[in-house]
Structure 1
């Protein structure tokens, strides 16, 4: 069964990056919402992964967070690459025979 994209580690990384960016700017959800066609409760739902966003909405949010969409995507790609590298290393360790089995 195919996993919904909102339930993936990659989507969670995207949301964490949005929240981290907002907090680094010392903005509240209401501050971000004031510049968008969303209200604060929608920003909260987006950040919690309860409301899915499309690329146009992501671009608007990035603009509200004083960053371009390409800049955000570059940072997200770095996060996802690191995530996959960590998963690959964990998989490799799990595949190794344990010291007790030797």
Structure 2
């Protein structure tokens, strides 16, 4: 199994988080404040420079207001052979 960091699915995860944030009309700093983190934390996630663990994903979903199941379904829909 190839590493997931910087894989197409990892890149798509970063894109989806940014898309959900933008659709919620939130700035990175707004999300960071809700997470009690600094803005670079959100920026690094959205740029794909930082991995997101499951708990962080759930926290992001709550802070931004998206369904984590929908995000996971979108990632599962990607062909594995592109990873």
TM-score between the two structures when normalised by the length of structure 1: 0.69
5+ residue gaps, structure 1: 88-102
Q: Is the 8 A contact 1:17 1:76 kept in 2?
A: no
Aligned counterparts of 1:72 and 1:63: Cα–Cα separation in 2: 13
The CA RMSD over aligned residues, in Å, is 2.0
Give, in whole Å, the separation in 2 of the partners of 1:77 and 1:37: 30
Dislocated runs of 4+, deviation >3 Å: none
TM-score (norm 2): 0.82
How many positions carry a matched residue from both structures?
Answer: 82
Offset of residue 43 of structure 1: 0.6
Q: Which is bigger in relative contact order (C-alpha 8 A, separation at least 6)?
A: 2
CA apart distance, 1:69: 2.1
Distance 2:36 2:67 in 1: 18
Larger Cα-atom Rg: 1
Match in the other structure for 1:11? 10
